[in-house]
Amino acid sequence: MSMSDPSAADLTVVIVDDHSIFRSGLRADLADGIRVLGEAATVDEAIALVVATQPRVVLLDVHLPGGAGGGGAEVIRRSAAQAPNTRFLALSVSDAADDVVTVIRSGARGYITKSASGADVSDAARRVADGDAVFSPRLAGFVLDAFGAVSGETAEASDELDRLSAREQEVMRLIARGYAYKEVAASLFISVKTVETHVSSVLRKLQLSSRHELTAWALERKLL
């Protein structure tokens, strides 16, 4: 962090996507203050680039050729240990649970669809860099489903990994209805920071839980 470097405050990112049109389109649309360190088109290129440049955030396509066929999830698994300060934000043309949960469980901090505007992607990248989680409405719906919130299961202890607390369920329900974090906070009369804490906690559960629905789901797709 040398103060003489004018770009020290910039958020550094790497764009990983196998479509050059999309990469250049996104690159042009990213907000000021976000500096692109490089682009990669395959799993192997991405791992090499992430390890070499150590960006703050990787904008990572879910479907990628190369490597062992694991796509974006493989990039996270194979490069996370060598880039400990890098966070991953997944991008895909669809937000189907199949695509989302694979990368989330591999360690991505959030998820956004490719049709999102450059401003939205920049915003999501900043939030991920700050250590927060980015949830789409559809992912929130999947989480409510997978953790049994729909059938009325509620966690009793705060450290329980396999169920959601009542507050987390409320937050997820509002996100599923399309509310932004700020709107969730206003509706529940809590601070935005508290909303972010709840969302991060849900993300952690989604990544670590050994709940039957999630493990069975992952096994079926050969993720474990």
The SS3 of residue 155 is coil
Structure tokens at 24: 């250049």
* Alpha carbons 142 and 136: distance in angstroms, whole number: 10
Compute CA 3 distance to the chain's CA centroid, rounded to the nearest angstrom. Answer: 30
Taking the least distance from each CB to another protein, the nearer of 80 and 192 is: 192
Which secondary-structure segment (H or E) carries 197? helix 192-208
Residue 221 — φ and ψ, nearest 5°?
-100, 15
Sorted by sequence, the CB contacts under 8 Å of residue 1 that are 6+ apart come out as: 8
- Nearest distance, CB of residue 82 and another protein, angstroms: 19
Taking the least distance from each CB to another protein, the nearer of 34 and 176 is: 176
The SS3 of residue 36 is strand
Structure tokens at 69: 């066929």
Taking the least distance from each CB to another protein, the nearer of 3 and 222 is: 222
* Alpha carbons 208 and 132: distance in angstroms, whole number: 17
* Alpha carbons 169 and 199: distance in angstroms, whole number: 10
Residues found near another protein in the complex (CB under 8 A): 18-19, 21-22, 25-26, 29, 42-44, 63-71, 93-94, 96, 98, 113-118, 137-138, 140-142, 144-145, 149-152, 173-174, 176-180, 182-184, 186-187
Taking the least distance from each CB to another protein, the nearer of 113 and 200 is: 113
- Nearest distance, CB of residue 104 and another protein, angstroms: 16
- Nearest distance, CB of residue 13 and another protein, angstroms: 17
Taking the least distance from each CB to another protein, the nearer of 55 and 66 is: 66
The answer to whether 122 and 34 have CB atoms below 8 angstroms apart is yes
- Nearest distance, CB of residue 146 and another protein, angstroms: 9
- Nearest distance, CB of residue 37 and another protein, angstroms: 22
* Alpha carbons 40 and 29: distance in angstroms, whole number: 18
Taking the least distance from each CB to another protein, the nearer of 69 and 84 is: 69
- Nearest distance, CB of residue 138 and another protein, angstroms: 5
